[in-house]
Structure 1
Amino acid sequence: MSGAAARVSDATGNWVDTRAPVWSRPWLRLSRLDRPIGSWLLLMPCWWSAALAAGVAHDISRLPLILVLFFVGAFAMRGAGCTWNDITDRDLDAMVERTRSRPIPAGDVSVRQAAGFLVLQALIGLGVLLQFNGFAIWCGIASLLIVAIYPFMKRITWWPQVVLGLAFSWGALMGFAVTFGRIDATALALYAGSIAWVIGYDTIYAHQDAEDDALIGIKSTALLFGAKTRPALAGFYALAVLLIAAALGLAAAGWPAWLGLAAFAAHLCLQIAKLDIGDPALCLRIFKSNRNAGLLLFGGLLSDAISRAAG
């Protein structure tokens, strides 16, 4: 199958399909640059943590650079993680309608080529890490263990979303590691809140594949919760808001941060109200809307950091 023909069903019509050179399309799809929402969701806890730590420090002088480095690192490492996921899941992907046209099962990229591309992306991520202090470097490297085991979790547990949460929320620790060279209770509360958020939104995402997953024996919280997804989602989203509120309290955050959290919470409530687990297209739209939810919270944290630095 040619790079021009292979398209993942939930990623058609984007810039990769329409503008990127044909030779580059399998590689861009392998790193999910045709679907950047995952990179944005990985980035959000990084930006939250950086902004909250800057507010605690009353110093935003390094914040712009840190935000840019986190942006580059999130996109590089999400690409590396997706490449690793595609290598390990290549046989399963071939059996699922939504994923069978991914580059490896479609025959556009070999496993060996994908492994080399993984290393390249990881080196970009390492280059970002090396801009930080030693503690932050080792903190970032430690996350690789979770990333490495995640693809196998859906084979052995109904809760792979928890492991994804541990990986995708790691950035909530990194802002404090970079700013202070330590991880404190504020960072841990933010991390825990982000994990609950990830479990919620990835459960929504998993409902797209629920039927195929059930047929081939893949486990997920979508299948575990089934018709009870809405109350389960409400519980995880409420927990996310409460834990992030605890982080704001520990950080002595000002009203802009609390306003951002309120907007974040309102967005999550709207997601629950709109959800229909029997509508895969709607599930995808709601899942993607979590970038906006994350940006609402980030806007509040950034405004609070600027306000506290000026004061």
Structure 2
Amino acid sequence: MWIHFAPLSIPLSRRLQTAAVLQWTFSFLAMAQCCLVLYVLLIFSQYWFLALLYGIWLYLDWDTPSQGGRRSEWVRRWTVWKYFAEYFPMKLVCTAPLDPRNNYILGFHPHGVLVVGAFGNFCTEGTGFSHFFPGLTPHLLMLPAWFRVPFFREYIMSGSLVSSDKASASHLLSKEGGGHALVIAVGGPPEALDAKPGQLTLQLLKRTGFIKLALMHGAHLVPVISFGENDLYYQVNNPRGSLLRTAQERMQKILGVALPLFHGRGVFQYSWGLLPHRRPIYTVVGSPIPVEKTPHPTTEQIASLHAAYIEKLQDLFEAQKTRYGIPKDCQLVLC
């Protein structure tokens, strides 16, 4: 197989963009493991007392990820995130204003391999979230296990990531005065196994937890489609029912995270690696679906709102797809 090397004469701006994405890829795929190893080494070193002090802090701060986290506007506005967004490039598209007096649940679709669009648009100011939605505070939900990793938890909380457990979502949505937007990758880790270029398969038909949450707290629902999200990586063919797919699904149920076999490009060559390809991402935020607070929603109410959400999502896809390179005859596949 021929390797397509990057040319030597590349502008500095592109080098900086690649470096920005490289550090993000490392933080997503390996930073947690490195932080855990660092903490263990610290325990068995002459600086064990630092590990002890941090352990006490971790105990006292255990519930913070489920109580709104600890965001840092300074971290969210790092210059590196501008280069990160310019690499693809990544754009945030607002189709309707969101009144900051309300709370919202933003359903993010598709999950993609590494949820790149959700991070870039809602955990940083790289694409100007506060400009498009003034007065609104975004919170991206992440699996609770990641917030138990020493040091790593502090970093991800600084970027508006919070625990995805029910208590965490309820804590934010129950706040009076509005102004909070929970971003949920509705398809979750299993949807990553369908993240392939040219395909838009969403695991949505049986996902009603976020609908019930919206009804219980009166949070308005907003569909979000990230065009280009599935085009960033190639994945080993794993059709449903195949041996590979069966093994991946079983591992996902055990570990809680998906294990897609994927590849992108490298730093100095474009043929193989873990960096995402330079392909445009357009994250389109739709108009809100007003939701009346219903503390104890019935099955019928959940089903009705779920159907309305799916219809709104499909309408958004049909209205926007040709603007962002999707063929007119392409349809969403829901499962």
TM-score normalized with structure 1 length = 0.28
Structure with the larger strand share = 2
- Radius of gyration: which is bigger? 2
TM-score normalized with structure 2 length = 0.27
